[in-house]
Amino acid sequence: MLEIKNLQASVEGAEILRGIDLTVNPGEIHAIMGPNGSGKSTLAQVLAGHEAYDVTGGTATFRGEDLLDMEAEARAHAGLFLAFQYPVEIAGVANSYFLKAALNSTRKARGEKEIDAVEFLKLVKEKAKLVNIDEKMINRSVNAGFSGGEKKRNEIFQMAVLEPKLAILDETDSGLDIDALQVVANGVNKLKAEDPERSFIVVTHYQRLLNYIVPDYVHVLSGGRIVKSGGKELALELEDKGYSWIEETVGA
């Protein structure tokens, strides 16, 4: 699905990723944990194609294609989805219009027929039900005036409609109360069940989301490198001992 080798990236000359190696196979859930400033969000943004970051070295192959050579929209068309840490408010653009445009761009890029209004509405209802989200959200402007929890739910809803092959969740759990956290986790689990080949990279600062989304692998990012990898028990160990434990062990 995704193979990252020695990925290095910087922003405005400051080196942030210093050689990331990560392989995600179809159907796997990888958690990426790490302290603030370790490069977690940068990794997510670089993979999604944010132009503020300069990739200075390494490779990333997504479903056999050179990911780093693709425009942000082409990455989405290929099946990559980023749930933003800070979803952007776009006043004056209705969620429904936005999502339909996104879906149809992707369909067009894949040589598929564009979805019509009736089919789209049916899909929206179905997916809203699947991820347990109020479908009325579709009539509002994209994230405008949404609470933090609503924005994160909207990300999950968009993910459900766009049906990605690989979804990257960038701190989707931050700032959520336990109810919203469960909605997010439930959405991810439902989408995993819908397509067992679907892969996820869950970027998080805390272990608590991983009580609900059980990862196959846990990686710890520190100083722009993956310093430790393990199974789901690594997350618990981290929660218990804190990030300073990692920094002491690896001497970073």
Partner 1 sequence: MTTTIDSPFHARVAGLAEQLRGSDDWRAALRLRAAEAFEKTAFPTTKLEDWKYTNVSSIAKATFEADDRAIDDEALEPTAIPDLDAHRIVFVNGTYAPELSTSVGQAGITVASLAGAVEADLQSNLGTQAPPEQTPFVALNTALMNDGVAVHVAKDTKLDKPLHVVFVSAVGSTGVDSHPRALYVLDAGANATVIEDYVSVGGTAPSFTNPVSEAILADNAFLDHYRLLREGANVSHVSYLQGHLARGSNFTTNVLCAGGALVRNNVEVVLDDESCECTLNGLTIGHGTQHVDNQTRIVHAKPHCESYERYRAILDDESEGVFNGKIYVAKDAQKTDAEQANDALLLSRKATMNSKPELEIYADDVKCTHGATVGDLDESSRFYMRARGIDRQEADVMLTMAFAGEVLEHFACEPIRELAAAAIRTRLSDR
Q: Alpha-carbon Rg of the chain, whole angstroms?
A: 18
Binding partner 1 (rule: CB under 8 A), the pick from 10, 15, 19, 50 is 50
Q: State which of residues 11, 102, 115, 121 lies at the interface with partner 1 (CB under 8 A).
A: 102
The sheet with strand 29-33 has its strands ordered as 80-83, 166-170, 199-204, 29-33, 217-222, 225-230
Residue 88 per-residue DSSP state: P
Based on the shown chain and the rule CB under 8 A, indicate whether residue 113 belongs to the binding site for partner 1.
no
Does 158 bind partner 1 (CB under 8 A)? Our answer is: yes
109 near partner 1 (CB under 8 A):
yes
Q: Is 105 in the site for partner 1 (CB under 8 A)?
A: yes
Stretch that binds partner 1, among 23-31, 43-51, 53-61, 113-121 (CB under 8 A): 43-51
State the Cα–Cα distance between residues 181 and 138, nearest whole angstrom: 20
The C-alpha atoms of residue 228 and residue 173 are separated, in whole angstroms, by: 22
What is the C-alpha separation between 95 and 91, in angstroms, rounded? 10
Q: Does 177 bind partner 1 (CB under 8 A)?
A: no
Which residue in 156, 180, 189, 187 sits closest to 170, CA to CA? Answer: 156
Closest CA to 139 of 180, 90, 97, 105: 97
Q: By C-beta, is 99 or 184 nearer to partner 1?
A: 99
Per-residue x/- marks for partner 1, 79-98, CB under 8 A?
--xx-x--xx-xxxx---xx
CB of 92 to partner 1, least distance (A): 3
> For binding to partner 1 (CB under 8 A), which residues are involved?
48-51, 71-73, 75-77, 81-82, 84, 87-88, 90-93, 97-99, 101-103, 105-106, 109, 158, 162
